Amino acid sequence: MNRALKVQSESWPLRTVFNISRGAKRAADVIVVEITDGDVIGRGECVPYPRYGESQMQVIDDIRAISHEIESGLTRQDLQSLMPAGAARNAVDCALWQVEARKQNLSFSELFGLRKFDPVRTAQTISLDSPDNMARAARKIGAGLLKLKLGQDDVFESVRAVRDAAPQAKIIIDANEAWSMSQLLEVMPCLVEAKIELIEQPLPQDDDDELGDYKSPIPICADESCHSTENLDTLAKRYDAINIKLDKTGGLTEALKLRSSSESLGLDVMLGCMICTSLSIAPIFALTHGVKYIDIDGPLWLEADRSGGCVFDGIRMHPPSLMT
């Protein structure tokens, strides 16, 4: 098999600091995998996430550890059992998808029977900040779908400020595991009053069982708690929706299975991403049709994206050309 593997880290500065409950980011630190197979090249990008025990060097080492298998003709199906779900597998999986498309002389969308992928309406994220600054950001964005990053403090003030600033917007909130069950119950009346659409991962993953008997007036979405199809039956008893991210599922191959299994269990699906370039976003467009919530604004936080990246027209995210 005439294959070659290249793995490298890249850092893409952000246009402003991105804050969530567990820390701040000033750059998108990504790993890019490039697989050359004869006269075609496939690329995939991943974002190692310390929350899941991942680091840049560890992900690179994990990918290089299977270089022989990749260069010997590893298939996407073989990859699923060779590597666990996570960032490293994602980059390799997505590169293999592109190799597969180009070997058949197809665009990525044509591989899925589509002439092209449609643009989508994506949430625009407002990172954790003072209520006044979050309101200012909401006012600038206006109507549409907003996603608020919240911590333990100023929840009432932040939600009300954003709602007043963007009265026509649909709003999702994401606590990134920062709340306790008692805080969730305490803030719920305010969230109902503000007409919040969805609450994403309010409790730490280890506290999932506290949601078991709770009948929330607002749908609750699993993010950090849901990585793959494993334990999905249990999650369906606690959550109303799941957030699918390729860096959690370990690539598009598992993500397609997760979406199908989730929908069969009656769970709504949200598509998410890390702070990344459009190379990470490109494969997600294979999942977007019919999905209720789409949150793929990661490249909008960059000072500059890759050539051929996603185009945002103020309302919709247009698929990138870099995987055609």
Residues with a catalytic annotation lie at 149, 245
List of long-range contacts for 291-294, beta carbons under 8 Å, 24+ apart? 291/259, 292/241, 292/268, 293/123, 293/145, 293/172, 293/197, 293/198, 293/221, 293/241, 293/268, 293/269, 294/120, 294/121, 294/122, 294/123, 294/270
Distance from the Cα of residue 212 to its chain's centroid: 25
Q: List residues bridging with 28 in a β-sheet.
A: 12
**Residue 255 burial (C-beta neighbours within 10 Å; 0-12, 13-18, 19+):** buried
Q: Which residues of 244-253 are buried (b: 16+ CB within 10 A; e: fewer)?
A: bbbbbbbbbb
Q: Which among 148, 198, 203 has a CA at the least distance from the CA of 178?
A: 203
Which of helix, strand or coil describes residue 149?
Answer: strand
> Cα-flanking dihedrals φ and ψ of residue 161, to 5°?
-65, -45
Structure tokens, 132: 């006044």
According to DSSP, residue 226 is labeled: -
Q: Are 64 and 7 in contact (CB under 8 A)?
A: yes
**Within 10 Å of residue 215's Cβ, how many Cβ atoms?**
5
Q: List residues bridging with 271 in a β-sheet.
A: 244, 294
**Residue 146 burial (C-beta neighbours within 10 Å; 0-12, 13-18, 19+):** buried
